Amino acid sequence: MKKIGILNHEISEVISKMGHTDSLAIGDCGLPIPDETKRIDLALVKDIPRFLDTLKAVLLELKVEEVIVAEETAKISPHIFDAIKKEVGDVRIILVSHEELKAELKKCKAVIRTGEQTPYANVILKSGVVF
C-alpha cells in the first residue's frame, strides 16, 4: 500500500507518465469533458471533493511550469482565481476564454472531475521538469 502522496491510482498513474509540457486538467462537476480525453471522476456529492483540495493534492506531486485558467474564472469566481494564484506561486498563468479552455481539454492526458459547484472552477496544469 502506498504510504504518501496521492492515493487515487488513476491520478497517480497519469502524473507518473507525464512528460515536459504534457497537461492535466482539474475541473468542477459541470465541466464538459471530451469523449477522447481520460476522465478521472472523483465527484461524490455536491462540493466533495472540492476543487482547491484536489488542486493542492496534485501540486504536491506534479511539477508545473504553466497554468491555463479561463478569464471567466477571474471575473465570476475571483476567490477561486485568487486561490489558484496562491497555490501555484510564481508559475505563469495564461488567461483564455472558457471556450478556449474547453478546446484545450482535448490535449490533456486526463481531466479530474471534482464535486465542486462553483462556476468556472477549472484549471489546466502544464507539466514542467524537475531538473
Q: Which domains does the chain have, with CATH numbers?
A: 9-127 (3.40.1650.10)
* Residues making up the binding site: 28, 98, 120-122
- List the one residue out of 26, 42, 14, 29 whose CA is nearest residue 105: 26
Query: From the candidates 9, 20, 75, 79, which is the catalytic residue?
Result: 20
State if pTM tops 0.85: yes
Output the CA angle 2-12-55, nearest 5 degrees.
Answer: 110
> From first to last of its 131 residues, what are the pLDDT tens digits of the chain?
888 899 999 999 999 999 999 999 999 999 999 999 999 999 999 999 999 999 999 999 999 999 999 999 999 999 999 999 999 999 999 999 999 999 999 999 999 999 999 999 999 999 999 99
Q: Measured between alpha carbons, how far is 131 from 127 in angstroms, rounded to an integer? A: 12
- Residue 20 a catalytic site member: yes
Helices (H), ranges, 6-108 = 9-17, 51-61, 71-76, 78-88, 98-104
